[in-house]
Structure 1
């Protein structure tokens, strides 16, 4: 009976750890060299708006933090959540999209307790609407120790 209790308590402990912090960027990925070249995005676009709601852009935060990005379609178009790509701008690029699939919706990205190592992290988010218009937005996260 005590073995069953141990197994149950272990599963509950591991489940609670997953709930409290979700890895967004690993220390190994953060140690990769920065992507070379410019991170230019186009000017005026009729594509969807991408806005970092949490944490505030370029404002230092402590990890874990809530990572929230809002998408806003323009006109009669809708956001296509299947089109969303989240790329960590390292060399080589790191595709974060599979880690975020469950928290991407037509409204945006809502990841509670994102675990990110200390440093300055550049992330590119691409999203399309149902009319095929695309927006690429570059966000910077600054994480303190």
Structure 2
């Protein structure tokens, strides 16, 4: 796994599934499935899940208050969705004040030991988001964290949990 440079004054880990494209718009990048390419591999999907924390922790409250960067909107899959493979992933980034810094993008699958999958989507990302029309994702329940900052280092993050049937 390659090391990623730290950008901005705050570090947040983000996991993503990918995704953003406004129908017919060329401002968004697209990724389709490749012959060998998995967005999340079967081996990664089989890894132990992160422990669930009941109730609101101080960390959760702190993270909610620190979403001062671009707005991350997960269009597909929606939270709690159950979908057949392949899965369309469509996520948008909307600046709140300053332009999006694409170099700060981080996408991770949340497991007991989180898996950085940013390198699988970065070439297909734009400051407007990411779009995967037919993401290869194995069956099972998956939680992905996406994080992005603006050019002044203001970060936001979003977690999404969905199931592939």
TM bin, normalised by shorter chain, reads 0.7 to 0.9
| Structure 1 residues 131 and 110: alpha-carbon distance in aligned structure 2, compared to 1, 3 A threshold | same
- Which blocks of at least 5 consecutive residues in structure 2 are unaligned? 1-31, 54-58
8 Å CA contact 2:33–2:134 kept in 1: the answer is no
The structure with the largest helix share of the pair is: 1
Cα separation, 2, equivalents of 1:52 and 1:30 = 21
Cα separation, 1, equivalents of 2:82 and 2:101 = 31
Instruction: Choose which of 44, 47, 54 in structure 2 pairs with 1:29.
Output: 44
- Which blocks of at least 5 consecutive residues in structure 1 are unaligned? 1-15
TM-score, normalization: structure 2? Answer: 0.70
Give how far 1:44 is off.
6.5
2:122 partner SS:
helix
Instruction: Choose which of 141, 146, 156 in structure 2 pairs with 1:120.
Output: 141
Matching residue of 1:104: 125
| Structure 1 residues 44 and 65: alpha-carbon distance in aligned structure 2, compared to 1, 3 A threshold | same
Give how far 1:109 is off.
1.2
8 Å CA contact 1:88–1:96 kept in 2: the answer is yes
Aligned residues: 127
Superposition misfits of 4+ residues, deviation over 4 angstroms: none
State which structure, 1 or 2, has the greater radius of gyration over its C-alpha atoms: 1
